[in-house]
Chain A
Amino acid sequence: MSNFTPAEIYKELLEEAISQGEARKEKTRVLVGTATCGVAAGALKIKEDFLREIESKNLSDDVDVFEVGCIGHCYAEPLAIIAKPGHPAICYGRLDDGLVHRLVEDFLVADDPSYEYAMAALERNDVFPTFEDFPRGIYEKKLILEQCGFIDARDVNSYLAREGYSGLAKALVEKPEWVLEEIKAANLRGRGGAGFPAGLKWEACIKSKGDAIYVICNADEGDPGAFMDRSILESDPHLVIEGMILCAYTVGAQKGYLYIRAEYPRAVTHVQEALEQARMKGLLGNSILGTDFNFDLEIFQGSGAFVCGEATALVNSMEGKMGMPESRPPRLAQKGYRGKPTVLNNVKTFAYVPLIIRNGADWFKETGTPESPGTAVFSLVGKVVNTGLVEVPMGTTLRQLIYDVGDGLPNDREFKAVQIGGPSGGCLPESALDVPIDFDSLQDAGAIMGSGGLVVMDEDDCMVSVARYFLEFTQHESCGKCTFCRLGTKHMLDILTDITKGKGDGDSLALLEELAEDVRDGSLCNLGRTAPNPVLTTLKYFRDEYIAHIEEGRCPALACRDLILYYIEPPKCSKLCNVCVGSCPTEAIFTRDDGLKEIDQEKCVKCDNCLKACPGEYNAVVKISPPVLPPEKVRVAK
């Protein structure tokens, strides 16, 4: 125990962090977004470009370049924020080397912020609108994503300076029971999918009175189309760490783990660095903030099996076994890691904890609905204009999310469905768009909240093929323990595959529904129990598409490759441009004696190249389903 109170020690840390921050603010700062999607879009090169241009202008002493995480506007990557004293901080998107050159020349050297290239300002000012002034700003409410992309994820001071760890300092002078009561009062529900109240889970663990208690963060994020948890860990790791420390204090744990996918190397590095810095500051490890509370954290790298996201399978894999689920009870709260009581929560669940402790349960409940307070975080992808990470209050409708936050579908396409909840979720049609997003309403509609994958689909997307995609995924990821999960999903997959090839028959749909029920009832864990959801929802809402495949051998979306053929419409073809001929990887396109191009159907591999290649003014290549060539056309031999 130290002679100083946690409040005093915290105050010192805070002052140091703030003065470092103030010192930094005297200089111009360039913050480059280097979360995974940023890096993918070339952000590291942009950072190099900035450094080079800045050096060439002899500004290296006046300008600092930092890496930050995801600000959620992933559609406009690569992104950078420039904060120059005397100007509001401004975010620029879609950067390339030319633009970097201009910004350095016009803004950093001269004093012109080049508003014509700016996306938004970060703070209110008289000259330029902020992100909150975007139409989506009205619907978005950032709690756990608030700092993502704005703070230096690799510097604990950056987090501290914005009230980071103040919740911990506040909690340590209270009894653990006080923290528990706050979390219970906030009705914080687990964000890993099921929505189980975190407070009740923690309480169960306290009551089970084992000699050791572990706290584990589930960052396995298995949904093949989602990346929220990774972005949070990459962009604001201390938020999750503080949440875990608070949980440990509440339940009396001394040791915890972050179970992070090995495929997320950036998240692993950022968390590793964050843990070291937290230890150095006395926020983690022995006698935290001068008290007699000891708690340390370690990373366990998951090896990439979807089923390992399931609580009991996760624990098995940490123990060096196959990651197979166990039947429950006993729950982890009674018998978890190494047989001891264990708390397991999702990344986002832990991320809310510091905010609730800092601001109070009532503050948290101001947002969202009574049954599902707080916000929902989604990775919004697919056929939507503004793809990226979004955070909206629970209770927001799917329509608001897609059309107001996401700005609707690109290229004037027609909305068809939204897939929500990943492999365990479902596809909802237009008629379900006014369903409010919360744990319970979505379930009634046949989908689930899931951990936050949200994919928008348009008329070009085939619902049978989407159902088949998810089933193939779950089938591949089934651990094989339960017969129905292993064989039932395989049987369902075979039927779906047949349908996409036009080989379904009149009994296919009834059989699918029967199998779906068997798989749901005969499986131990939620992987199997929810695997039929994508099939059942598409059967419910898009049955006519299944029927078109089966009865007419036609794929209405022109997506199933066995049910389409590529055809060049003679009246539309320019005859002269030859672009399609060069684009075909199998040399299937030839010039007929009359100068028209034609596709040799035997050679065509349906790669879509020619259709994309044919210039927009002709658009002569079309897909036809069922795959029957128009009969009236006279075919000329080569």
Chain B
Amino acid sequence: MQLIEGEKDQILAIVGEVLKNSPKQREDLIPLLQKVQAKLGYLPALAMEKIADGLNIPAADVYGLATFYNQFRLNPPGKHQVKVCLGTACYMVGGDITLESFERRMEIKEGETSPDRLYSLERVACVGCCTMAPVAVVDEEVEGKVTPTRVDGIMLALQDEEKKNEKELKSNQEEGEDA
């Protein structure tokens, strides 16, 4: 994924700050990665290189670790994040069909972020509300009984929101120009 404007500076600043305020032993590596991801939303390659430098270990070790653990994401999260539960109970009632419907609507595969960075799609294990299976977590809100029709509804709502945002942005800009 391409870095967008200003992102590089932001990454360097955040990694620098986290490194400054944390212990730097090998056993601090996972907590360090967690802190950086909490701030950036993901682990860009640049951040991992800087962390490797900071701990004085090969960058390959950091990559290895980040890819080994499911928690770490190497792609930036979309503005809207959808996580589809594929825990046992959800799978049994068609969680995979739900996931597929999202893939179709977002035009990306599970694990990816759309090129405009508006949407990202992931699968997760049981979110603890199997009663409502199949479940999807949309921007931290848990949605139950997510049939493909419901997927269409959710996506329409998100797209509407985006359209509204765009309009507002435009009218704000126009106001700005008027002034």
Is B truly associated with A? yes
Verify A224–B87 contact, CB threshold 8 A.
Answer: yes
Cβ of A381: which chain B residues have Cβ within 8 Å of it? 88-89, 130-131, 133
**Are B131 and A37 neighbours in the complex by a CB distance under 8 Å?**
yes
Cross-interface CB contact of B128 among A227, A319, A583, A585, cutoff 8 Å = A227
Instruction: Pick from A117-125, A352-360, A606-614 the stretch touching chain B.
Output: A606-614
**Contacts of A317 on B, CB cut-off 8 Å?**
30, 69
Beyond A74-B129, A305-B70, A320-B25, whether A607 also contacts B100 by CB under 8 A is: yes
In this complex, how many residues of chain A approach chain B with their Cβ under 8 Å: the count is 57
Q: When chains A and B are docked, how far (Å) is the Cα of A601 from the Cα of B88? A: 29
Question: Known pairs A262-B71, A379-B130, A469-B88. 10 more at Cβ < 8 A?
Answer: A224-B86, A225-B88, A303-B71, A304-B69, A422-B88, A455-B88, A461-B92, A466-B92, A585-B148, A608-B94
> Which A residues contact B (CB, under 8 angstroms)?
35-37, 39-41, 74-75, 77, 222-227, 230-231, 262-263, 300-305, 308, 317-323, 379, 381-383, 387-388, 419, 422, 453, 455, 457, 461, 466, 469, 479, 583, 585, 605-609, 612-613
Contacts A301-B31, A304-B69; A36 near B88 (Cβ below 8 A): no
Chain A proximity of B150: nearest CB distance (Å): 10
Within 8 A of A (CB), among B24-74: 25-31, 33-34, 64-65, 68-72
Chain A contacts for B29, CB-based, 8 A: 320
Which residues of chain B have C-beta atoms less than 8 A from A224's C-beta? 86-88, 125-126
> Nearest 9 A-B pairs (CB), nearest first?
A225-B88, A40-B129, A303-B69, A36-B128, A40-B142, A224-B125, A304-B70, A303-B71, A381-B130
Contacts A231-B128, A263-B71; is A585 near B101 (CB within 8 Å)? yes
Q: Chain B contacts of A77 at CB under 8 A?
A: 129, 131
Indicate if B104 sits at the interface (CB-CB under 8 A).
Answer: yes
B145 CB to closest chain A CB, in angstroms?
10
CA A517 to CA B71, docked complex, whole Å? 32
Docked Cα-Cα span, A585 to B102, in Å, equals: 11
Whether B107 is near chain A, meaning CB under 8 Å from some CB there, is: no
Known interface pairs A303-B71, A319-B27; A585-B152 also in contact (CB < 8 Å): yes
| A-side contacts of B131, CB under 8 Å | 37, 41, 74-75, 77, 381, 387-388
Q: Are B148 and A608 in contact (CB under 8 A)?
A: yes
- What is the CA–CA distance of A74 and B30 in the complex, to the nearest angstrom? 34
**Alpha-carbon distance between A353 and B31 when the two chains are bound, in angstroms:** 30
How far is the CB of A362 from the nearest CB of chain B, in Å?
A: 35
- Considering the complex, which residues of chain B in the window 78-113 have a beta carbon less than 8 Å from any beta carbon of chain A? 86-89, 91-92, 94, 97, 100-101, 104
Q: How far is the CA of A75 from the CA of B88 in the complex (A)?
A: 17
Partner of A469, one of B65, B91, B100: B91
Contacts of A40 in B (CB 8 A): 127-129, 132, 135, 142, 144
User: CB-CB < 8 A to A225: which residues of B?
Assistant: 87-89, 125-126, 130
- Check if B149 is an interface residue, CB within 8 A of chain A: yes
Query: Which residues of B does A touch, CB under 8 Å?
Result: 25-31, 33-34, 64-65, 68-72, 86-89, 91-92, 94, 97, 100-101, 104, 124-133, 135, 142, 144, 147-149, 152
Q: How far is the CB of B139 from chain A (nearest CB, A)?
A: 14
Residue from the list B26, B94, B130 in contact with A319, Cβ < 8 A? B26
* Sampled A-B contacts (16; CB under 8 Å): A36-B129, A40-B135, A41-B132, A74-B131, A224-B87, A227-B126, A227-B128, A305-B68, A322-B68, A457-B92, A606-B97, A607-B100, A609-B147, A609-B148, A612-B147, A612-B149
**Cβ-closest chain A residue relative to B143:** A40
Select one of A302, A382, A613 contacting B89, CB under 8 A: A382
Write out the residue numbers on chain A whose beta carbons fall within 8 Å of the beta carbon of B127: 36, 40
CA distance A226 to B129 in the complex (A): 10
Please, how many angstroms separate the alpha-carbon atoms of A612 and B152 in the complex?
A: 15
B52: shortest Cβ distance to chain A, in Å? 12
Q: How far is the CB of B130 from chain A (nearest CB, A)?
A: 4
Q: How far is the CA of A536 from the CA of B152 in the complex (A)?
A: 39
User: A607 with B101: in contact, given A230-B128, A387-B130 (CB under 8 Å)?
Assistant: yes
Which residues of chain A come closer than 8 Å to B87, judged between CB atoms?
224-225
Q: How far is the CA of A383 from the CA of B133 in the complex (A)?
A: 11
Q: How far is the CA of A383 from the CA of B93 in the complex (A)?
A: 9
Partner of B104, one of A226, A302, A585: A585
Which A residues lie within 8 Å of B100 (CB)? 605, 607
> Measured between alpha carbons, how far is A637 from B139 in the docked complex, in Å?
45
How long is the Cα–Cα vector from A323 to B68 in the complex, in angstroms? 8
Pick the contact of B69 from A319, A323, A605 — CB < 8 Å?
Answer: A323
By CB atoms of chain A within 10 A, which of B27, B69, B94, B125 has the most?
B125
Please measure, in the bound complex, the distance between the C-alpha atom of A383 and the C-alpha atom of B90, giving whole angstroms. 11
Residues of chain A within 8 A of B92, CB atoms compared: 382-383, 455, 457, 461, 466
Complexed CA–CA distance, A388 and B128 (Å): 9
State in angstroms the CA–CA spacing of A40 and B87 once bound together: 15
Asked if residues B30 and A303 are in contact (CB atoms below 8 Å), the reply is: yes
Which residues of chain A are within 8 angstroms of B144 by Cβ–Cβ distance?
40-41
Cβ distance B128 to chain A, nearest Cβ, rounded Å: 4
Question: Residues of B contacting A262 with CB < 8 Å?
Answer: 34, 71
Chain B residue contacts of A222, Cβ below 8 A: 125
| Neighbouring A residues of B133 by C-beta, 8 Å | 381
Closest to A382 in B: B89
Residue of B68, B94, B152 with highest tally of chain A CB at under 10 A = B68
User: How far, in Å, is B82 (CB) from chain A's closest CB?
Assistant: 15
Please, which residues of chain B bring their CB within 8 A of the CB of A388? Answer: 131
Our pick among B26, B70, B88 for the contact of A453 (Cβ within 8 Å) is B88
B28 and A226 contacting across the interface, CB-CB below 8 Å: no
How near does chain B come to A316, taking the closest CB pair, in angstroms?
A: 10
